[in-house]
Structure 1
């Protein structure tokens, strides 16, 4: 570790706060994230250029590249703050719901899943657009989805190691159907349904589908 690194570590150990320069760096990063999110929501992913983001944030392209490697990374960080972390929590919550064997609890989880999509609906179109346009972002989105079944150890255990791939695929298909439902329902307006009605029908489809055959009644 460099001498500067040792000094920085010691400063945090003894409880000193960040320097003025570090606080300014954090403020700039925050401003870039906030401006990028607002622009992605307003215009979509493809229409926003890095110059648009730095202009809105009042900084330079060089400053942008001190914090982010490009548009895919800044959208990834926005997703990590608003979408991905909460998505993992939501699927971790699904694990005990499935273990309970209660369809009523599963329907309650499904309603919360729909609420999660409603809470994140502004940024979801930009996320989908980036997945379609950016090979780099496809890998990011793939990793984000693969984290979800990993947050469900009891679910995976019930399926067993020989059917681990199928168990994970079922969660990925659940995620895909929920995403497509939400786009058609809330974004495009091509599905006429209340949130509760949709959650009930989706529960009919998925409650049994997520159970191994030997656990089905």
Structure 2
């Protein structure tokens, strides 16, 4: 994830500079709008290039195709979401109310990106690339938590840590999967009992 994260951070950092949008940024913005409005499958490279005001040649100078662009959007979405995930490391993570509030915020963030999450699901079903990025993301999330929460300070290559690392992976996967599922299925907040159950599992793991 290191190389991918560096690329995302660079792209996001560049976007914060007070300058005119680059062709690449315009294509990413145009694609996000088109995907959310019409679905991933219905949008073509020509649609994206035309909306961004660039030629097909310019498009292919930046992306090998629509799938690569969608993966880049996914990476940028992860970067934008990451501060909310890391927030639990700055609070009393053994406090049940704080953990539940953290989970509620994660679910709320996904609801805000509900349309884009559906796009990523469609893109993943049509092509490859998302699975590897998602796998790297899970390892990255465990490392982020492990910098502040001892229970997550695990080395997946160490035999003594392997089982606990997989337990951490499954725990975070369940949290993210339920959050994404809730965001894709409805705008309403999830059942409070689901948040409570996930918080209990998180607390059992770290205590």
TM-score, scaled relative to structure 2: 0.76
CA offset digits 1:166-198 (Å, max 9, x no partner):
112211121111111222223xxxxxxx52xx3
Cα drift, residue 150 of structure 1: 2.2
Deviations for 1:58-88, whole angstroms, at most 9, x for unmatched residues? 222111011112212212222333x201332
Q: Mean Cα displacement is larger for which, 164-173 or 153-162?
A: 153-162
5+ residue gaps in structure 1?
Answer: 1-22, 187-193
Name the residue aligned to 1:164: 165
In 2, the alpha carbon distance for the partners of 1:170 and 1:136 equals 23
Counterpart pick for 1:86 among 75, 80, 86: 80
Aligned partner of 1:76 in structure 2 is 71
Question: Superposition RMSD on alpha carbons, in Å?
Answer: 2.5
Higher Rg of the two aligned structures: 1
Please, which of 187, 193, 203 is the counterpart of residue 201 of structure 1? 193
Question: 1:179 maps to which residue?
Answer: 180
Structure 1 window deviating more from structure 2 (175-184 vs 156-165): it is: 156-165
Separation in structure 1 between the aligned mates of residue 68 and residue 83 of structure 2, nearest angstrom? 22
Length-normalised TM-score, structure 1? 0.72
1:209 to partner: Cα distance: 0.9
Query: How many pairs does the alignment contain?
Result: 181
Q: 1:152 to 1:214 in 2, by over 3 A?
A: closer
Instruction: Structure 2: give runs of 5+ residues left out of the alignment.
Output: 1-18, 155-160
User: How far apart are residue 56 of structure 1 and its match?
Assistant: 1.7
CA gap 1:65/1:204 in 2 versus in 1, 3 angstroms: same
Match of 2:126? 133
Cα distance in 2, alignment partners of residues 84 and 214 from structure 1: 24
**What SS class does the counterpart of residue 203 from structure 2 fall into?**
coil
